[in-house]
Amino acid sequence: MSQAAAGTQPSVRRTNLFKKGFLYVALIITSITMVFPFLWMLSSSLKADNEIFTFPIKWIPETVYWENYYKVWTEIPFHLYYLNTIKLVVITIAILLITCSLAGYAFSKIKFPERDGLFFLYLCTMMIPYQVIMIPQFILMKNLGLIDTHAALVLLGVVNPFGVFLFRQFFSSIPDELLEAAKIDGLSEIGIYARIVLPLMKPAIATLVIFSFMHTWNDFLGPLIYLTKDELFTLQLGMQHFIGQYNTEYSLLMAAAVSSIVPTVLVYILAQDYFVKGVVGSGVKG
């Protein structure tokens, strides 16, 4: 039996190596497929318009047109669109973290009648398509006099059922004994939230910041609905200046797109460690 078992070990190892090799090949192909559009965008941003759609693709252009980036920042008020987008992102995320963390803490650690049922109904709102509530929201913002203001976009973005769910799941992983000990020491619910819970929330905060940053930064439909003045435009609306009725300046459009994704990449790089911990921690307890 021992000789038979010893004989099967090499075959088992070969099978495991084959599985790992197949997995790595699949991951490499998937990664290349996902990176391919970004590489094409970067390459196109340094070309002339008549070189972008040539086949086969010239990944490294013969003549590098760095002036495409200069034109993006000078032909239109691109810096103003950048500042408007940063303003919306910072204000929205700051308020969103407060609302979602407080609601998540209440649903997780504070016992009140029909808590779980209310939380379930709140999560059900995630299944409602945005197109269904788009018109009622617009009517509400119009009645409030918030059309053509950034306040409308901020007000609609400061409540997020996914964020509440994320924090609630993360708070569920914190032992109740820790909070009870804090209550014995005389801390109120707000004191426990501020002194005990907040320092433990970094992974969840990083996760929500990344998701909310990407959504707010790349949002096109919201600003398109509520903003009409050029000085209020975000990056996604501002880039439409390069799309004309009869022609599109693809090289400038690609340069603007590359410029717009830089903050997103930086935020993810800076918060990726906490992001992984937050995603894992949010599913510890249900």
Tens digits of residue pLDDT in 106-124? 888 888 888 888 888 888 8
Q: Is residue 98 located within the same domain as residue 163?
A: yes
Q: Based on the structure, what is the number of domains in the chain?
A: 2
Q: Is residue 7 located within the same domain as residue 115?
A: no
Q: Is residue 129 located within the same domain as residue 20?
A: no
pLDDT for residue 91: 94
Residue 182 falls inside a structural domain? yes
Largest Cα–Cα distance of the chain, in whole Å? 83
Residue 276 falls inside a structural domain? yes
Q: Is residue 192 located within the same domain as residue 232?
A: yes
Separation CA 148–CA 141 (nearest Å)? 10
pLDDT for residue 129: 85
120 CB contacts (<8 Å, ≥6 apart)?
A: none
Q: Are the beta carbons of 70 and 60 closer than 8 angstroms?
A: no
Residue 57 falls inside a structural domain? no
Q: Is residue 156 located within the same domain as residue 195?
A: yes
**Residue 208: which of 96, 89, 43, 42 has the closest Cα?**
96
Q: Is residue 37 located within the same domain as residue 129?
A: no
Q: What is the DSSP letter of 248?
A: B
Separation CA 232–CA 226 (nearest Å)? 10
Residue 144 falls inside a structural domain? yes
Q: Is residue 101 located within the same domain as residue 18?
A: no
Residue 58 falls inside a structural domain? no
Separation CA 194–CA 198 (nearest Å)? 5
pLDDT for residue 18: 77
Bridge partners, 248 (sequence order): 243
pLDDT for residue 285: 45
| Residue 252 tokens, joined | 């400038």
Q: Is residue 99 located within the same domain as residue 175?
A: yes
pLDDT for residue 277: 58
Q: Is residue 154 located within the same domain as residue 204?
A: yes
* CATH code, 198: 1.10.3720.10
pLDDT for residue 278: 52
Residue 286 falls inside a structural domain? no
**pLDDT tens by residue, the chain, 286 residues:** 455 445 566 666 777 777 888 888 888 888 888 888 888 888 888 888 788 887 787 778 888 888 888 888 888 888 999 999 999 999 999 999 889 888 888 888 888 888 888 888 888 888 888 888 889 999 999 998 889 999 999 998 888 888 888 888 888 887 877 777 877 877 777 887 778 777 778 788 888 888 888 888 988 888 999 988 888 999 888 888 888 767 778 888 888 888 888 888 888 777 776 666 555 554 444 4
Residue 54 falls inside a structural domain? no
Q: Is residue 34 located within the same domain as residue 78?
A: no
Q: Is residue 12 located within the same domain as residue 154?
A: no
pLDDT for residue 14: 74
Residue 227 falls inside a structural domain? yes
pLDDT for residue 125: 86
Q: Which domain holds residue 139?
A: 70-281
φ/ψ (deg, to 5) at 26: -65, -40
CA atoms within a 13 Å half-sphere pointing along the CA-CB vector of 166: 29
Q: Is residue 83 located within the same domain as residue 33?
A: no
pLDDT for residue 95: 92
